[in-house]
Amino acid sequence: MAKIWVYAELNQGKLQPTALELMAKARELGDVEAVALGAGAKEAAAILGKHGAKVVYVNEDKAFDDFIAEPATDALAALYKAQSPDLILFGFTSDSRDVAGRLAARLDVGLISNAGDVDAKDGGFVASVPYFGGAKVASMRANKKPAIILIRPKSFEPSESGGTAEIKEVDAAIGADSKRAHIVERVVEASEKVKLEDAKVVISGGRGMGGPDNFPLLEALAGALGGAVGASRAVVDAGWVPYSMQVGQTGKSVRPGVYIAVGISGAMQHTVGMKASKIIIAINKDAEAPIMKMADLGVVGDALKIVPALTAAVKAKKG
Amino acid sequence: MVIIELFSSLTGGCLVKIVVTVKQVPDPNSSTVLEADNTLARDKEVVLDPGDECGVEEALQLKEAHGGEVVLVSMGPEPAKDAIRKGLSMGADRGVLISDAQLAGADALLTARVLAAAIKAEAPDMVICGTESYDGSTGMVPPMLAELLGMPQLTIAKKVEVDGSTIKVHRQTADGYQIVEAATPVLISVTAGIAEPRYASLKGIMAARSKEIKQIGLGDLGIEKGEPAETIEGLSQAETRKAGVIIQDDGTAVDQIIQVLVQAKVL
Ligand SMILES: Cc1cc2nc3c(=O)[nH]c(=O)nc-3n(C[C@H](O)[C@H](O)[C@H](O)COP(=O)(O)OP(=O)(O)OC[C@H]3O[C@@H](n4cnc5c(N)ncnc54)[C@H](O)[C@@H]3O)c2cc1C
Ligand SMILES: Nc1ncnc2c1ncn2[C@@H]1O[C@H](COP(=O)(O)O)[C@@H](O)[C@H]1O
């Protein structure tokens, strides 16, 4: 049986959703163990056990929370030498990416990034990776041991399998020079009423909204529908709205009941984060915009006129 | 060099050399072609990666505030010189291109190994990368490069501040940002939001023509290519959603949207 590791990312004591998503997949691939580093690791280990981890390696050294990537890389590299798993799965998230990249370079094995799925095949691992702007999917075989594969959030549905993990406290093995990129402060900007990831309705605005001053139109509609507002990267980069609202490859992945894309062209890097939505409605001036080809309902028209009218109609309907 | 040091001491800055990694990519505004061997056709309509253009801009702004030299390093086929030239015309000082037939289709680790070897020779105080490239999009070159260079990594920066030899960045997070600091030498990956790239002036374009672009091969860096970390076994069509109905906003559009919302049980 192949030995599979899940890097169970923690953020300020909280187990990140990708950890349990990866557990669900890892169980299909072999014997699963997890590595949890930082505050909350032991508590997380219990949850990971319920999701199928036979062993969870833990260490709660503060350095894992306070310094970027290097302490975790040290710990993983040392653990790898002792345990030699066949595959290490990471979530394709900012923090995990930083660690996975360093680890792959240190172990000189490379990695497969931005995968949507992974399977065991002919004694190795093959990942599905979007290719050529997302028009194709490549099957990529990992040639080295350990295989290191990063998987996009929301690729698998977490599920409990029952069980308890053996919790093994391990040496942090942090090198003397590894406490360098120091997180000195955490600033929270988002004050989301409904969390984007959990919302039943997501209304996202793009460059077609014309400017930041028009985003309240989307908030009004979201308010009326009990949904959340998202955005394309173009408007995040332009500084119209905070990054916490970005949907897509480098933002959040959402799969609401209804996704309304307003003034968004539908670049693959955006759609990869929302195409799993049940129903997609697009409002766009351009009937040829790529988003129109994937929408269940595409409305050709001016967003600035349609959105306020729609908000009024929703309110009227609700009475 | 003396002038640079004098300038630095006057401005209180202490950055002496910044390397920016720049990649040439297919023009995001044009449709690209896939070759028979599943590599992207790179012979036409290629540009400096828009993300790296922001990295160049940030480096130039740091140079303007703190002095120093901005060196562009790229790995790619010979035409990638154009991407370097673009950065030089914006104001960077010189460029290094690593070009070698063996590097076609290089994966992230090989790319990072090659860039690291070339960058080590420059001994910079700061390395600036894009967060992820437009075409590769693995986002893995920056952390790999940091590891191979033995530098701390300040990633996904949307703002950079220099305070002597301490570099502080605002690192974008899901709900805001972190303030992260490290001492030089340091590697930074920047978001496209960090700085609006300047247009190259005519003067800049003229000046760029005489700026140095050093071209080297794998042999010059003493690197063996090695086995690739991954192999593509097959390609399939991505799953696509079927198009639904497209309607003109002729006054009934709002009603039709309402109907869909009711059917989806969100209203
Ligand atoms: C590595 C990488 C990662 C990326 N990650 C992401 C990501 O996570 N998320 C993301 O969104 N993008 C991402 N992108 C960017 C992506 O490629 C697109 O550039 C971006 O999604 C475009 O945003 P947009 O649709 O708002 O803007 P545009 O493409 O400019 O589209 C604007 C649309 O608005 C329409 N419009 C204009 N005026 C009106 C009006 N009055 N009413 C109605 N419609 C109107 C236009 O017809 C057009 O279709 C990434 C790119 C790269 C290279
Ligand atoms: N061939 C290359 N030459 C120079 N820089 C590169 C190259 N490939 C990647 N980079 C740098 O690494 C960043 C991230 O790229 P990637 O890891 O491919 O997503 C890019 O924005 C560049 O700054």
The DSSP letter of residue A55 is E
Report the pLDDT value the prediction gives residue A192, as an integer from 0 to 100.
59
Amino acid at A134: G
Report the pLDDT value the prediction gives residue B1, as an integer from 0 to 100.
42
Report the pLDDT value the prediction gives residue B203, as an integer from 0 to 100.
96
What is the rounded average pLDDT of the residues A243-253? 91
pLDDT band at A41 (very low <50, low <70, confident <90, very high): very high
Asked whether B108 and B140 are in contact (CB, 8 A), the reply is: yes
What is the rounded average pLDDT of the residues B178-183? 98
pLDDT band at B136 (very low <50, low <70, confident <90, very high): confident
CATH architecture of A196-318: 3-Layer(aba) Sandwich (3.40)
* A189 pLDDT above the threshold of 50: yes
pLDDT tens per residue across span B3-51: 444 444 444 456 789 999 999 998 877 655 555 555 555 555 889 999 9
Q: What are A153's two structure tokens?
A: 């959030």
Interface mutation vs chain B, best among A66, A141, A225, A233, most B CBs within 10 Å: A141
Q: What are phi and psi of A101, to 5 degrees?
A: -60, -45
Rg (CA), chain B: 22
Report the pLDDT value the prediction gives residue A126, as an integer from 0 to 100.
98
What is the rounded average pLDDT of the residues A307-317? 96
Say if strands A10-11 and A14-15 run parallel, antiparallel, or are unpaired.
Answer: antiparallel
Report the pLDDT value the prediction gives residue B4, as an integer from 0 to 100.
46
The DSSP letter of residue B257 is H
Q: Is the ipTM of this complex over 0.85?
A: yes
Decide which of A134 and A160 is more confident.
A160
What is the rounded average pLDDT of the residues A202-207? 98
In angstroms, rounded to a whole number, what is the distance separating the alpha carbons of residues A73 and A81? 12
Amino acid at A183: I
What is the rounded average pLDDT of the residues A35-63? 98
Q: What residues of chain A, 43 to 72, have a C-beta less than 8 Å from chain B?
A: 68-70
Partners of residue A143 in chain B, C-beta under 8 Å: 227-231
Q: What are phi and psi of A318, to 5 degrees?
A: -75, -20
Interface mutation vs chain B, best among A184, A296, A306, most B CBs within 10 Å: A296
Amino acid at A36: A
Q: What are A29's two structure tokens?
A: 């691939």
Q: Which residues contact A46 (CB under 8 A, 6 or more apart)?
A: A164, A165, A167
Share of residues in chain B with pLDDT > 70 (%): 89
Q: All domains of chain B, ordered by start, with CATH?
A: 2-221 (3.40.50.620)
Partners of residue A239 in chain B, C-beta under 8 Å: 193
Fold agreement (A3-169, A196-318):
yes
In angstroms, rounded to a whole number, what is the distance separating the alpha carbons of residues B76 and B220? 15
The closest alpha carbon to A261, from A280, A235, A245, belongs to A280
Whether B139 and A97 lie within 8 Å, measured CB to CB? yes
* C-alpha dist (Å) from residue A51 to A42, A120, A156: 15, 20, 13
Report the pLDDT value the prediction gives residue B7, as an integer from 0 to 100.
44
Nearest CA to ligand 1 atom 30: A207
Report the pLDDT value the prediction gives residue A279, as an integer from 0 to 100.
97
Q: What residues of chain B, 169 to 188, have a C-beta less than 8 Å from chain A?
A: 170-183, 186
pLDDT tens per residue across span B139-167: 999 999 999 999 999 999 999 999 999 99
**A170 dihedral zone (left: phi>0; alpha: psi -120 to 50; beta):** beta
Q: Which fold has domain A3-169?
A: Rossmann fold (3.40.50)
Give yes or no for A14 touching B (CB within 8 A): no
Mean pLDDT (chain A, rounded): 95
Whether A298 and B245 lie within 8 Å, measured CB to CB? yes
pLDDT tens per residue across span A250-303: 889 999 999 999 999 999 889 989 998 999 999 999 999 999 999 999 999 999
Q: Which residues contact A150 (CB under 8 A, 6 or more apart)?
A: A89, A90, A91, A92, A96, A97, A100, A111, A112, A113, A114, A115
pLDDT band at A61 (very low <50, low <70, confident <90, very high): very high
Residue A186: in which H helix or E strand, if any? strand A182-188
Return the residue of B nearest to A289 by Cα.
B246
pTM: 0.90
At B108 the three-state DSSP class reads helix
Whether A293 and B249 lie within 8 Å, measured CB to CB? no
What helix, strand, coil percent values describe chain B, rounded to 5?
35, 30, 35
Mean pLDDT (chain B, rounded): 90
Tell me the CA–centroid distance for residue A242 and ligand 1, in Å: 15
Say if strands B94-98 and B213-216 run parallel, antiparallel, or are unpaired.
Answer: parallel
Partners of residue A185 in chain B, C-beta under 8 Å: 178-179
pLDDT tens per residue across span A103-140: 999 999 999 999 999 999 999 999 999 887 777 899 99
Partners of residue A305 in chain B, C-beta under 8 Å: 249
pLDDT band at A211 (very low <50, low <70, confident <90, very high): very high
Whether B236 and A137 lie within 8 Å, measured CB to CB? yes
Give yes or no for B154 touching A (CB within 8 A): yes
Which ligand places an atom closest to the C-alpha of A234? 1
Which atom of ligand 1 is closest in space to residue B50's alpha carbon?
53
Report the pLDDT value the prediction gives residue B2, as an integer from 0 to 100.
44
Q: Where are the domains of chain A?
A: 3-169, 196-318
* B189 pLDDT above the threshold of 90: yes
